Amino acid sequence: MKECRRGYGPGIIKKKSGRGVRVFYFFNKTTVKKLSKHSKIKLLRRLRAIQRKNHKESSRNNNKRRLSSLLDGNKGTCKVIVAPKIFDLGADENRKNLTKFLERLRIFVKHNNLRKITIDFTNTHRFIAAGTLLFYSELSYLKQLINNKTKLRYIPPKNPKAFEVLIQIELHKLCGIRKPKSKNANKYDDVLNWKVAHGIVVDNQQCAPAIEPHEGQLAEPLINGIFKGLAEAMANTVHHAYAEIRKDGLNHKPSENNWWMFSQARDGELTVVFCDLGIGIPRSLPKKHPSIFHKMLSLGKVSDHQCIVSSVELNATSTKMPGRGKGLTNIIEIASKNKAGSVFIYSNRGMYKLTPGATKPFSCDLKDSILGTIICWNVTLSKVVS
């Protein structure tokens, strides 16, 4: 037995022997002895259990510190939020990054005693219509909750094209700052063709400037289908989307039923995107069509994408108004017959899409909720048949 210095508690020590074999010893306050194989295994298991416990506690503490850092809202502080590299809903990784970014933005706004919130777009190099509209709509929505003492600012992208996109969608107006000087505006035709619309009532006239310039390249049924689809989306927003408080942690019910729209002509394709930040189709369907929803529920758990599919297929509406409820079905049928475009619908976690060449629509649930509804039409210009 070998004596140890006083003050040491019981434990395990490793000592390398002359032949390179590790020998385990157990020591208490006064003695050290070589462990048997059985004791060594028993104590190693105990040691690993302690290590796992410590690791979990350390992870919890790190998460608490990270959250505390996010929620640090002392007066006079400023917060910088790094924007995603790509604003997109199509790819899983891009959608995850975007929804996490918007979640952090909501956390900062919720604790609104910050002096300044800055969005850092330095590394952002691509803005895709659906993801960009979701961000723009969310920021417009959050702007209503920011008090007058909190300034909203942004650091522009290094990418010149991304820089011009933010100018074109007039992000500076949302932030209440002077318009940045454009550097290469005439260089990017697809950026100049971005159009933004916003409203609180059913009014297709606000959407007309986005579609009318392309009437010569679109078949008449397709133009009518887009307008009917937009009218239905607006009507749903006004009558149902904001019926309850949105589950975003802000506990805020907007005083107006806002909707937003983007349009973009690029590479021979017209993209029209519509967004509302209401309760979403999965939460509005039980209110609009309770009997249909109960039938679905009797077959098992109802997923978000199943609610979207049912909403597309239904023709009746709770208001019983002629022509209502057929807009989405109309545009999907026309796009399918012409094989000249695609339709994407995102609502909460659900996703529905119909693409050219597909024999039937595809729908599924996604991991990340967008906390709202986005409808996107991609129409090929000059290739549709009437």
What whole-number distance in Å separates Cα of residue 42 and Cα of residue 341?
66
Q: What is the pLDDT of residues 352-383, one digit of tens each?
A: 998 887 778 899 999 999 999 999 988 877 64
DSSP secondary structure letters along 318-355: TT--TTTT-HHHHHHHHHHHHTSEEEEEEETTEEEEE-
What stretches of the chain adopt beta strand conformation (E)?
Answer: 11-16, 22-27, 32-34, 78-82, 86-87, 116-120, 126-127, 151-155, 195-199, 259-266, 269-276, 341-347, 350-354, 362-365, 373-380
Q: Which tokens in the block code for residue 386?
A: 């009437």
Query: For position 101, what pLDDT does the model report?
Result: 96
Residue 154 CA neighbour count, 13 Å, CB half: 25
Query: For position 320, what pLDDT does the model report?
Result: 47
Q: Are strands 86-87 and 126-127 parallel, antiparallel or unpaired?
A: parallel
Nearest to 27 by CA among 11, 7, 47: 11
Query: For position 4, what pLDDT does the model report?
Result: 45
Query: For position 13, what pLDDT does the model report?
Result: 52
Query: For position 127, what pLDDT does the model report?
Result: 95
Query: For position 105, what pLDDT does the model report?
Result: 92
For the chain (386 residues), the mean pLDDT of every run of 10, in chain order, is: 46 51 52 73 89 86 63 61 95 95 90 82 95 95 81 92 92 91 76 82 71 68 73 78 86 85 81 90 84 76 88 58 55 65 91 85 92 88 52
Q: What is the pLDDT of residues 118-154, one digit of tens each?
A: 999 999 999 999 999 999 999 999 988 886 778 899 9
Residue type (1 letter), 381: L
What whole-number distance in Å separates Cα of residue 345 and Cα of residue 257?
19
The side-by-side arrangement of strands in the sheet containing 11-16 is: 11-16, 22-27, 32-34
Query: For position 339, what pLDDT does the model report?
Result: 64
Query: For position 363, what pLDDT does the model report?
Result: 92
Which whole-number Å values give the CA distances from 317 to 152, 236, 244, 289, in the listed order? 40, 10, 18, 8
Q: Are strands 78-82 and 116-120 parallel, antiparallel or unpaired?
A: parallel
Nearest to 327 by CA among 209, 198, 227, 208: 227
3-state secondary structure of 46: helix
